[in-house]
Chains A and B, each alone.
Chain A
Amino acid sequence: MCKRFVSIWFRYLVTDWFALRKPQLRNTAFVLCTPSHGRMVVTAANALAEAQGIQSGMVLADARAIVPGLQVLDDKPELIDKLLRRIAEWCIRFTPFAAIDPPGGIILDVSGCSYLWGGDEPYLNDIINRLKSRGYTVRAAIADTIGTAWATSRYGLSFIIHPGQQSKALLSLPTAALRLDADTIDHLHKLGLRQIKDFIGMPRSALRRRFGNLIIMRLNQALGLEEEIIQTVQPIEPFSERLPCLEPIVTATGIEIALQRLLEVLCQRLQKEQKGLRVANFKCYRVDGRIIQIQIATNSPSHNVKHLIKLFEIKLPSIEPDLGIELFVLEAPTVEDHASSQQKLWEAMWGLDNNQLSELIDRLAGKVGLNSIRRFLPEEHYWPERSIKQASSLHEQKTSEWKLDRPRPMQLLTTPENIDVTAPVPDYPPMNFRYKGKIHKIIKADGPERIEQEWWIQEGQHRDYYAVEDEEGCRYWLFRSGHYDEEYKWFIHGFFA
């Protein structure tokens, strides 16, 4: 497929931005300046100031001499980069590949995009008109190569270079249109080579010998003999789908339809490549330039449209369309291999690796958070609080067996609660205990089961556990922390079934 690029040039990027911030500046000549070597130097001048002969690089005093009523503002360093990046991100509505080209330029890779607007001309006009309506002075050109688009946007007269026409378009342009450094341009001018057609026909070896490698590279790039790579402002996800809308979408139904369509296309592709997504981002590009994003995550790779829509549905109400959404993008940043397995028809009960179970968990997690969903595996510790660990996934297997040798209570208090106890002699279970204001008389008891602290994890007293039964038949798990002859305390820790 033939490549197409758009180069956008902001003639007065920074001064336009200042004029947008302060509308009273629109009709006055003003410059931006910054201190350099003990004097103020003009870094940018607006169109009115330039018309009166002020150029960037001038000393401010000279500029004031030319235009007495000149407005002077402090320049903000790094503003250009920030502005360009913001505009480039906004330009993603025209193409996914947008790159900044400082100073004052943006390059878009628009291969295969313009047909959506009905051709190169309406496409380019739309870009220019939209940027102009935002208040920027822009020139933009479309061509087969970045070099030609750049040259024509700055120096050309016609802005649409049809496929294969780049060498013809370049001929009448000045040498500076080739993106060369000032020294080389100066050198060329001294030799009388003012336009590209003056030297484009010369042998390459002669050019290289006199002007270095750069001029050859730039020529080749402009003509399309050498490929040029651009660094896009937003990395392109390999699995992403876009849906531009002719009319801005403002209704919930519209958003749902967009999501459904994008998911169908993306899932079809995932299925074809035997992949499933783990994380998906749904981005809405609003008319006012904001991007709204919702994200879902799944437990196991999935390319099931119905399921993914259900996950998104919980979060869809958080999208505010405001004045309207003009572009929807669905991305799958995390993708894993997922061979579509055949479900057994006769399998009445699920195991842990069942698709539907992980879909149910995804749905619950989407609403209440994955934190509240837990599964436990045995851990090789006697200390009750440490005898279980949380499984990291539905598929994690236990590494040791669940222990059955000691009685464990059905319910365990997360923190043991202090109780008052009457106990006869050391190592005997208590005779009665008071818990929540009620006195329980102990009839039967088992124990003690001593559990020592694991000193390599935590220092502290050991516990002597007793399983006791009161006169009503209720069974409790009590323990004494510490030795009898030292300081000790009684606690209740659980309730047996």
Chain B
Amino acid sequence: MNTTKAHTIEQLRKDILPLQGFKPVAGDSGFDGGLGFIKQAFPGASFPLAAIHEFFCTGEEDVSASAGFIAGIVSAIMRKGGVTLWICSSQMIFPPALKAFGIEPDKIIFIYLQKEKEILWAMEEALKCEGLAAVIAQTQEISFTASRRFQLAVEQSRVTGFIIRRNPRNLATTCVTRWKITPLSTNTENDLPGLGVPRWNVELLKVRNGTPGNWQLEWAKGRFRHVYKLASINSEGQRKTG
């Protein structure tokens, strides 16, 4: 009896998903964005493509960490080919660094815009275009209306959108997931001096129809890797450098 109930609920959940804008496309199901078992947190156990993902940041350090994390996911999307648009207000992103995250930097088109209104307009235009791999935008504020327009656009075009927001005020948006990525102290093999591979604390604050969570990840050898043992902050001070 219990099992049939659980089965019915599972079936109902599956039926609700398409009504909420999740239309699984053949080949997309099971896509994890390179995130490994984190995909269990997402609806249907697959990273939501054709959706808007928000990243909250406070300082430049967080922006860099979020950009690295997004670059890791986008590289998995771009493995099938395609071009990514990166819309931002300042010329800060350094393209050669993207190569380390598995993206060909010359496949990224940067659009530098000053006004927030223009950034939102450009983002919407880009999201309407089928066939782009992803659109990444850096902006502080985004209104509820704008986020709804993005959602409608991606439901049509199946493009994945990422928005990096610094110190946002408006939290009422229709994004599918909301993340906070902060840098973590790195670890080197055998405690050798120097810096290790990029490591982040990944907080999934909100996910529609999924379960939020908190993980520690690092980017090593071209893929995400889970960190189970955190590096202890060395109390004896600075180590010798290499």
Contact surface of A with B, Cβ cutoff 8 Å: 347-352, 354, 356-357, 360-361, 363-364, 367-368, 372-378, 384, 387-388, 391, 394, 398, 402-404, 407-414, 428-429, 431, 442-447, 466-469, 471-475, 494-497
Residues of B within 8 A of A404 (CB): 99-100
Complex Cα distance, B183 from A98, in Å, reads 71
5 contacts between A and B (CB under 8 A): A443-B238, A443-B239, A469-B185, A475-B195, A496-B198
Residues of A within 8 A of B60 (CB): 411, 495
Instruction: Tell me if A469 and B113 are in contact (CB < 8 A).
Output: no
In this complex, what residue of A is CB-closest to B85? A360
Residues of B within 8 A of A387 (CB): 96
Q: Bits for B63-82, please: 1 = Cβ < 8 Å to A, else 0.
A: 11101110100000000111
In this complex, what residue of A is CB-closest to B239? A444
Does any Cβ of A come within 8 Å of B126's Cβ?
Answer: yes
**Interchain CB contact (< 8 A) of B64 among A409, A445, A471:** A409
Residues of A within 8 A of B91 (CB): 414
B216 to chain A, nearest CB (A): 11
**Interchain CB contact (< 8 A) of B241 among A367, A414, A446, A472:** A446
A420 to chain B, nearest CB (A): 17
Complex Cα distance, B109 from A376, in Å, reads 8
8 Å CB interface, B153-168 against A: none
A367-B121, A375-B108, A412-B94 known; A356-B67 Cβ under 8 A? no
Instruction: Tell me if B195 and A467 are in contact (CB < 8 A).
Output: yes
Complex Cα distance, B196 from A468, in Å, reads 11
How many pairs, one residue from A and one from B, have CB atoms within 8 Å of each other in the complex? 192
Complex Cα distance, B217 from A249, in Å, reads 64
Residues of B within 8 A of A398 (CB): 106
**Interchain CB contact (< 8 A) of A408 among B94, B185, B186, B234:** B94
Top 3 A-B pairs ranked by shortest CB distance?
A497-B68, A349-B82, A412-B94
A411-B93, A412-B92, A414-B91 known; A374-B109 Cβ under 8 A? yes
Instruction: Tell me if B233 and A443 are in contact (CB < 8 A).
Output: yes
In this complex, what residue of A is CB-closest to B200? A497
A411-B63, A497-B68 known; A364-B122 Cβ under 8 A? yes
Residues of A within 8 A of B188 (CB): 444
- Among A347, A372, A404, A407, max chain B CB count under 10 A is at A372
- Among B91, B92, B108, B125, max chain A CB count under 10 A is at B92
Complex Cα distance, B113 from A494, in Å, reads 21
A443-B234, A473-B183 known; A497-B104 Cβ under 8 A? no
Complex Cα distance, B104 from A391, in Å, reads 14
- By size class, the interface of chain B is 35 or more
A356-B131, A446-B241 known; A495-B96 Cβ under 8 A? no
Does any Cβ of A come within 8 Å of B110's Cβ?
Answer: yes
Residues of B within 8 A of A376 (CB): 95, 105-106, 108, 110
Instruction: Tell me if A495 and B129 are in contact (CB < 8 A).
Output: no
In this complex, what residue of A is CB-closest to B103? A402
Complex Cα distance, B168 from A262, in Å, reads 47
In this complex, what residue of A is CB-closest to B184? A473
Instruction: Tell me if A360 and B126 are in contact (CB < 8 A).
Output: yes
Contact surface of B with A, Cβ cutoff 8 Å: 59-61, 63-65, 67-69, 71, 80-83, 90-97, 99-101, 104-113, 118, 121-122, 125-126, 129-133, 182-186, 188, 193-195, 198-199, 219, 233-234, 237-239, 241-242
Residues of A within 8 A of B107 (CB): 352
Complex Cα distance, B81 from A496, in Å, reads 26
Instruction: Tell me if B96 and A372 are in contact (CB < 8 A).
Output: no
A81 to chain B, nearest CB (A): 47
Residues of B within 8 A of A429 (CB): 238, 241
A422 to chain B, nearest CB (A): 11
A440 to chain B, nearest CB (A): 10
Residues of A within 8 A of B126 (CB): 360, 364
- Among B60, B104, B105, max chain A CB count under 10 A is at B60
Residues of A within 8 A of B105 (CB): 376, 378, 388, 402
- Among B63, B104, B130, B185, max chain A CB count under 10 A is at B185
Residues of A within 8 A of B113 (CB): 368, 372
Instruction: Tell me if B111 and A364 are in contact (CB < 8 A).
Output: yes
**Interchain CB contact (< 8 A) of A444 among B69, B121, B183, B194:** B194
In this complex, what residue of A is CB-closest to B82? A349
A414-B92, A446-B195, A497-B67 known; A377-B125 Cβ under 8 A? no
B177 to chain A, nearest CB (A): 19
Complex Cα distance, B82 from A347, in Å, reads 10
Complex Cα distance, B208 from A461, in Å, reads 53
In this complex, what residue of A is CB-closest to B100? A404
In this complex, what residue of A is CB-closest to B72? A497
Residues of A within 8 A of B121 (CB): 367
A364-B111, A444-B239 known; A377-B106 Cβ under 8 A? yes
A410-B94, A495-B63 known; A402-B104 Cβ under 8 A? yes
A368-B113, A402-B105 known; A469-B94 Cβ under 8 A? no
Residues of B within 8 A of A348 (CB): 80, 131
A412 to chain B, nearest CB (A): 4
Residues of B within 8 A of A497 (CB): 64-65, 67-69, 71, 97, 101, 183, 198, 219
In this complex, what residue of A is CB-closest to B78? A349
Complex Cα distance, B81 from A429, in Å, reads 41
**Interchain CB contact (< 8 A) of B61 among A351, A403, A466, A495:** A495
